[in-house]
């Protein structure tokens, strides 16, 4: 027997494997991105054809390796991925110009995200691998798979088959890669690699949290815990058949499979009889307790030993007796949460069973179930009352509410018009970035050429006085101030004459250059006057305070003299006052204005 690899060595090997494969994928990403739409479509076609050819072999291999599920159902899932999903993505444009919005004059151009890290679960190993490889190649993204350790052989086989088909069709070698040394630490290292551009994670909550904490764009999908509500107007026979079909499909391994049944009291007995007739077995309280203890771990997760087993296998393993025709076990419960272990997602043909008084109570019970592990994922309603169906659509915290069909098959687009997919976003309710069924569109970035359609014209620029520029809302212009008589304008010649008189009173005389009558008044007090000291016998500044008529000019010095002498200065509308003189005069109240008859 070969010696087991020490854990530390296994971790190191896995981390090194992740790094090497990402570098390999990154090295050819640009070559893949440069391929034409026709070339990409040819590569994807050959991959899908190869997957369909080997669907049965891969289905059997998955059951043999993992021990989970039903080979016939895994075959159906493999064909769904390789045929239904392929037909859905086949006409998509993912290269170059993908759409023209003529009215808006916008051209959309597709760019691949880059290297994708894809985590593959053990519950749906081969179908998920087929799906992720096809959507990645359609979007021109090189990819590195991290298989679940318990399903590494069947996932590796799937990847190698599709890789060979892609290369034969012209894909660069190295665009499809898969880890062979797999540990949890290695998977985490893969998601953190600098050259990984996007993460596609399918698995338990721990894995999904790791994906979202890796610092990369990520699409992660965790538990579903889907409730199925049977309203009193439903076709009971079909509703029960749909629920059993969904719950027993691949032994309940899809995360969107039904986990609880919620029934109106008015029809509850009829529903019980129909379940029994179609292979359901209702557990008594003692058997339900035994099942809960065996199926639900202390971490509130389903026991891997019972996951994906048939109802008969489960009953046999836990030591309870059920009829031979039993296909699903039903446990009547009164509540949801930690005190009711079987209210969790169970991943096997076990259903919790609730009875409610009416659709409003049923609505609240479904909300409780979704909050306990399935927020944003999936639920179903079986009803013929469109108003109640719409109420559930409006109020339930699930982004796939399928109507009168199995949740398992309706959610992935097998029995509904939803986009066919094996990865189902749970939106904000479930901590996901999208509520969509993931397709190649989610692996693309879109560039946009935007041509001018609304040329900016000067007359369209909002006026500051008539527009509130913060909100862009027109406002009423402010009212005009009350009419005031216009201040008389002084003639430049009058100003010049008064300045000359003042200067002469100070012993100064203007230059010989006459003041031009057309001069701007500012030039008179500026360059036109050249004060030259000249002794005269004219009035001193103190005379300004004794005159009974208004003075012609007041300077700051005049005001100081008046203040010191405790006298006033007589002014009128014709008096020229310097700004400094006015400020000082206002402080001491020395002006007497004859034009208004009051002191300043």
Q: What gap in Å lies between CA 430 and CA 241, rounded to an integer?
A: 29
Supply the pLDDT for residue 242.
98
Q: Which fold has domain 28-222+443-450?
A: Aldehyde Dehydrogenase; Chain A, domain 1 (3.40.605)
Instruction: Kindly list the strands in the beta sheet with 444-450, ordered across the sheet, starting from the edge strand earlier in the chain.
Output: 96-101, 106-112, 444-450
Cβ partners under 8 Å of residue 251, min gap 6: 68, 69, 70, 73, 308, 309, 310, 348, 349
* pLDDT for the residue 596: 67
Tell me the three-class secondary structure of 420-478, residue by residue: CCCCECCCHHHCCCCCCECCHHHHEEEEEEECCCCCCCHHHCCCCCCEECCCCEECCCC
* Residue-level pLDDT at 73: 97
The first and second tokens of residue 100, run together, are 């023209």
pLDDT confidence of 275, banded at 50, 70, 90?
Answer: very high
For the segment 286-306, the average pLDDT, to the nearest whole number, is 94
- Residue 519 pLDDT > 80, yes or no? no
Q: Please report the pLDDT score of residue 188 as a whole number.
A: 93
Q: Output the pLDDT for position 495.
A: 53
E-assigned strands of 76-115? 96-101, 106-112
Written as one string, the DSSP assignment of 312-353 is HHHHHHHT----TT--EEEEE-S--BTTBGGGS--SSSEEEE
pLDDT of residue 462: 60
* pLDDT, position 1: 40
Residues in a beta bridge with 226: 258
pLDDT at 455 over 70: yes
Q: How far apart are CA 417 and CA 411, in angstroms?
A: 9
The percent of residues above 70 in pLDDT, for the chain, comes to 83
Domain ranges of the chain: 28-222+443-450, 226-422, 492-599
Domain 226-422: top CATH class = alpha beta
Whether the per-residue pLDDT at 514 is higher than 90: the answer is: no
Place of tokens 């008084």: 357
pLDDT the model gives residue 532? 38
pLDDT at 14 over 60: yes
- pLDDT per residue as tens digits for the range 347-398: 999 999 999 999 999 999 999 999 998 899 999 999 999 999 999 999 888 9
In this predicted structure, what is the pLDDT of residue 540? Answer: 43
The Cα–Cα gap between 410 and 319 comes to 34
| 255 is an active site residue | yes
The angle at the Cα of 133, spanning 128 to 135, to the nearest 5 degrees, equals 95
Average pLDDT, the chain: 86
Question: Where does the pLDDT of residue 328 fall: very low under 50, low under 70, confident under 90, or very high at 90 and above?
Answer: very high
What pLDDT score does 221 carry? 78
> What average pLDDT score do residues 219-244 get?
93
Can you tell me the distance from the alpha carbon of 545 to that of 326, in angstroms, rounded to the nearest whole number?
Answer: 122
269/515: higher pLDDT: 269
Statement: residue 280 has pLDDT above 60: yes
Model's pTM, two decimal places? 0.75
Catalytic hit among 141, 154, 255, 348: 255
Bigger pLDDT: 235 or 575?
Answer: 235
| Backbone CA torsion sign across 38, 42, 43, 45 | positive
Sign of CA dihedral 321, 326, 328, 330: negative
Q: What is the pLDDT of residue 459?
A: 67
pLDDT tens figures, 182-217:
999 999 999 999 999 999 988 777 777 788 888 889
* 3-class SS shares of the chain: helix, strand, coil, % to 5: 45, 20, 40
Q: Is the pLDDT of residue 513 over 80?
A: no
pLDDT of res. 215? 86
Inter-residue contact 154 to 146 (CB < 8 Å): no
């Amino acid at each position: 027997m070969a010696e087991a690899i020490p854990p530390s060595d296994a971790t190191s090997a896995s981390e090194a494997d992740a790094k090497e494969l990402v570098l390999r994928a990154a090295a050819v990403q640009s070559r893949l991105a440069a391929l034409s739409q026709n070339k990409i479509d040819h590569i994807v076609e050959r991959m899908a054809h190869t997957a369909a050819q080997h669907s049965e072999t891969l289905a059997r291999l998955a059951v043999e390796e993992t021990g989970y599920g039903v080979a016939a159902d895994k075959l159906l899932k493999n064909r769904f991925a390789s045929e239904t999903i392929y037909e859905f993505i086949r006409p998509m444009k993912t290269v170059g110009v993908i759409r023209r919005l003529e009215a808006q004059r916008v051209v959309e151009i597709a760019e691949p995200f880059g290297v994708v890290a894809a985590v593959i679960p053990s519950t749906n190993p081969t179908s998920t691998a087929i799906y992720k490889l096809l959507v990645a190649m359609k979007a021109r993204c090189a990819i590195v798979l991290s298989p679940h350790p318990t399903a590494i052989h069947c996932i590796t086989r799937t990847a190698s088959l599709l890789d060979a088909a892609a290369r034969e069709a012209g894909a660069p070698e190295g665009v499809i890669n898969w880890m062979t040394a797999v540990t949890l630490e290695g998977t985490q290292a893969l998601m953190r690699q600098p050259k990984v551009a996007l993460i596609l994670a399918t698995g338990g909550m721990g894995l999904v949290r790791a994906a979202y904490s890796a610092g990369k764009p990520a699409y992660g999908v965790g538990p579903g815990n889907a409730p199925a509500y049977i309203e009193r107007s439903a076709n009971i026979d079909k509703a029960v058949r749909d629920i059993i079909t969904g719950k027993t499909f691949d032994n309940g391994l899809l995360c969107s499979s039904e986990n609880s049944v919620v029934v109106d009291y008015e029809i509850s007995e009829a529903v019980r009889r129909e379940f029994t007739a179609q292979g359901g077995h209702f557990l008594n309280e003692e058997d339900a307790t035994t099942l809960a203890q065996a199926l639900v771990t202390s971490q509130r997760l389903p026991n891997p030993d019972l996951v994906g087993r048939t109802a008969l296998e489960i009953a046999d393993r836990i030591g309870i007796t059920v009829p031979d025709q039993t296909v699903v076990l039903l446990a009547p419960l009164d509540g949801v949460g930690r005190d009711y272990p079987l209210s969790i997602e169970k991943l096997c043909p076990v259903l919790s069973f609730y009875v409610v008084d009416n659709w409003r109570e049923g609505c609240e019970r479904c909300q409780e179930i979704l909050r306990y592990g399935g927020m944003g994922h999936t639920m179903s309603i079986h009803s013929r009352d469109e108003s109640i169906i719409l109420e559930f659509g409006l109020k339930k915290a699930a982004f796939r509410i399928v109507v009168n069909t199995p949740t398992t098959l309706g959610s992935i687009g097998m029995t509904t018009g939803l986009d066919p997919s094996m990865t189902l976003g749970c939106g904000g309710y479930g901590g996901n970035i999208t509520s969509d069924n993931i397709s190649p569109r989610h692996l693309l970035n879109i560039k946009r050429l935007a041509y001018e359609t609304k040329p900016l014209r000067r007359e369209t620029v909002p006026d500051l006085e008539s527009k509130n520029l913060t909100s862009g809302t027109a406002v009423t212009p402010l009212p005009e101030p009350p009419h005031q008589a216009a201040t008389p304008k002084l003639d430049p010649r009058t100003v010049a004459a008064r300045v000359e008189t003042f200067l002469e009173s100070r012993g100064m005389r203007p230059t010989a250059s006459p003041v031009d009558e057309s001069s701007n008044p500012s030039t008179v007090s500026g360059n036109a006057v050249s004060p030259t000291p000249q002794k005269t016998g004219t009035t001193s500044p103190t005379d300004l305070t004794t005159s009974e008529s208004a003075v012609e000019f007041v300077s700051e010095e005049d005001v100081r003299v008046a203040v010191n002498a405790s006298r006033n200065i007589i002014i009128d509308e014709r008096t020229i006052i310097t700004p400094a003189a006015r400020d000082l005069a206002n402080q001491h109240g020395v002006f007497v204005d004859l034009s208004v008859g009051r002191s300043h």
